[in-house]
Chain A
Amino acid sequence: MRKKTIYTILVLSVLPFFTSGTFAQEVTKISPYVTLQYFKNTDDQRILQTTLTYSKNRAELPLSGMEISFFTGADKKESLAKVLTDNKGVARFELSTDFKLNSDKDGMWSFSSEFKGNDTIASGTSEVTIKDVRLAMTLTLVDSIRTISVKATVIESGKEKPVSGEAVKVYVPRMFSLLPISELTLNEAGEASVEFPADLPGDKEGNLTLVARFEENPAFGNVEKRETLKWGLTTDYSVPTSHRALWTKTAPKWMIYTLSVLLIGVWGHYLFALISLIRIKMDAKRKAKEEYRI
């Protein structure tokens, strides 16, 4: 009877460890976020970028090593490439300049990317429709006033037409991020301009890079133009070595003297203690010799 009770308790206490596996529901697949973006850089290179992520504990985490398929075309999809995501969950594909893209009747290009999914991650797709825009940036210096002018046009029915009412942002790259200079709105002629500040530090020759951008524009995607010119203040970033300070290579003399005096003082006393140990040892040897003679 007692044995039976013990077995029952044992079985009941072990049972919970099996139940979770035995009666477990089918594992829910991870729902990924698939985001397709279009980039056109200053050299007119077109890049399709897909980011594959998922949400865990309110954090967005990348899915790396996953195959992403890129397509072009709206109704009839044409495969462009298959690319694996990197450790940030990003798969990039650069469209070669001689690749002919088919546009629809409104002159729009359609792109899509697809993740087919696997046993643990669900599938997902993302699409963008892009109109090719030409962004130009002109930098002029008149009477020491620096002016940035931007112009955006699109080709419609074989003719160049201005883009109006859209926002173009102007930045200057700094050490960690882009410094916003202005947000311009294009006029009827597809143009906008702004005066550039004269007090921005550049490199040691005064060089600065200016960036004009369409950012996440629903029609044009991410399109940018970059120019580098000497519009900044010349700045010497080298660490001064001519004087002693907390921030220079050589320490102030008082620090060196204080540290030296302290260390010599302390280690000098250690030396005294070590010499004392040697003297004890020598005294013991001398005594042993004397005893041996006796």
Chain B
Amino acid sequence: MEADRKLISDLTPEIEKTSIKWYVTFFILFAIFSVGVYGLYQQISKGHIVTGMRDNVVWGFYIVNFIFFMGLSYSGALISGVLHLFHTGWRKPIIRMAELITIISLIIGPFFIFFCIGRLDRLHFLFLYPRIQSPITWDVIAIITDLAGCFLYLYLSFIEDFAILRDYPDLKVAPWKKKLYKTLSLGFTGTEQQHKILSNARMVMAAMVIAIAIIVYSVLAWIFGVTLQPGWHSTIFGPYFVIAAVFSGTGLLIILMWIFRKIYHLEEYITQRHFVNVGVLLTVIAAFYGYFTFSDYLTKWYGSIKMDSILIDKLFTDYYSLFIFANYIGILLPCIIIAFPKFRTIPNITIAAIIAVTALWVNRYIIVIPTLETPFLPIQDTRPDWITYSPTWVEWSLTFAGVSVFAMLFMLVSKIAPIISISEMQEKDKNEILK
């Protein structure tokens, strides 16, 4: 397996040497993570009283973050699977990022469930006494299955790159890294037979991760959908969650493209064309997402079931700003920015993506919290400030810790593996891609 020096240097900027910038960034992220760990220590030692969760609102920031990160993961799988399956020419510089979003989000997401559970010591009961009838059991099975599948899919995409790095004579890395590349490349030498086997396996797994992503995120949506709570009990929630996930994942992909392009000077590989293409994808998905959102709220509003009406009133009063931001600005603004060709610059598309991702997180917040603040039966003799939810510093710290771990894992991967697939980039149609 051979590759030219420039390609390896450009696409593996942190493998041979570690820049000061890398250390400084990692240290800052680690500091944020440490604050989160301290917050978690406070929560474990003092109990959930240090969070804003109380008798009514038993799901707060943690579940919002869980849904958000799982959404990013499934969307990463969907995007990379679709791009790979349909041999989209321009996919090559960005497909690795989508794959990494999948795995890293999938590792972080479930931790928020652990933070939310009051009795972590009983966690193993989920495996000892599973009930197939319970959506929680479906979710546990789904996440494990998804994690295994995504790791396998990611590994398949890495094999050729590991073989290239193993065989590259001038690569100045520690002996353990060389050994790692040798082990993980499975002796891949790029024979026709090996290419055929690998290609078939990747195609099969690409199709699988698409299917799994749709099923698994639907399962997560059904945890809400099968619950007889105002705002949650909706048949549309499965597809709605899937679309919302792709919306956020596409936005995050654009943000990561911008960050990596800027930090590692990948202008030659990640061009405006990639931003426009993914941006157009974001616009199309935003349109679908907006349609689903409107459809969901319209039917609830028109039905005028008492609890649904109370909930919608609450969304347009107590949660007015968040609701408008999540469901109007967060959908329309990215569409407007990307729909008009003269606005389609890289910074504008990135700003649109940041708005989309933030709006999606807020959307998750207003799906989870207002519903729990609107119970069918009010709890008697409770303090008013226990009915409403307000996140504490502990929840904020763990949220930011999740984001920092996401970035740290990306940085650690960049120390071992190429951030853009070398094997994909050195294919014969490279010039065409970079055109």
Contacts and interface: CB of A to CB of B under 8 A. Distances in A.
B431 interface: no
Interface string A259-294: 100110011011011101101110111011000000
Contact of A277 (B145, B186, B191, B193): B186
A11 interface: no
A284 B186 contact: yes
B145 A251 contact: no
A103 B383 CA distance: 42
Interface residues of B, number: 31
B201 A273 contact: yes
Contacts of B133: 246-247, 251-252, 255
A279 B208 contact: no
Interface of A: 58-59, 246-247, 251-252, 255-256, 259, 262-263, 266-267, 269-270, 272-274, 276-277, 279-281, 283-285, 287-288
Interface of B: 131-133, 138, 141, 145, 148-149, 152-153, 155-156, 159, 186-189, 191, 193-194, 197-198, 200-201, 204-205, 208, 211-212, 215, 383
A17 B198 CA distance: 66
The DSSP consensus for interface residues of chain A is: helix
The DSSP consensus for interface residues of chain B is: helix
The 7 A-B residue pairs whose C-beta atoms are closest, nearest first, are: A284-B187, A276-B201, A251-B132, A281-B186, A273-B201, A269-B208, A246-B133
Given A251-B132, A263-B145, A283 B201 contact: no
A276 B186 contact: no
Contacts of A283: 187, 191, 193-194, 197
16 contacts: A251-B131, A251-B132, A252-B133, A256-B132, A263-B141, A269-B204, A269-B205, A269-B208, A273-B156, A274-B152, A281-B186, A283-B187, A284-B186, A284-B187, A284-B188, A284-B189
B187 A279 contact: no
A273 B200 CA distance: 9
A280 B212 CA distance: 25
Q: Which of B148, B201, B204, B212 has its CB near the most chain A CB atoms (within 10 A)?
A: B201
B191 A279 contact: no
A276 B200 contact: yes
A280 B204 contact: no
A198 B193 CA distance: 82
B132 A276 contact: no
Contacts of B138: 259
Contacts of B194: 280, 283-284
Given A246-B133, A256-B132, A273-B204, A280 B187 contact: yes
Nearest to A247: B133
Contacts of A276: 156, 197-198, 200-201
Nearest to A285: B187
Contacts of B132: 251, 255-256, 259
A129 to B, nearest CB: 29
Contacts of B188: 280, 284
Contact of A59 (B131, B208, B211, B383): B383
B149 A280 contact: no
B156 A270 contact: no
A98 B133 CA distance: 59
Contacts of B212: 266
B165 to A, nearest CB: 16
Contacts of B383: 58-59
A266 B204 contact: no
A262 B215 contact: yes
A247 B132 CA distance: 11
A197 B132 CA distance: 41
A270 B189 contact: no
B385 to A, nearest CB: 8
B204 A272 contact: yes
Nearest to A249: B131
A262 B149 CA distance: 14
A252 B193 CA distance: 46
B197 A270 contact: no
B208 A266 contact: yes
Given A281-B186, A284-B194, A270 B141 contact: no
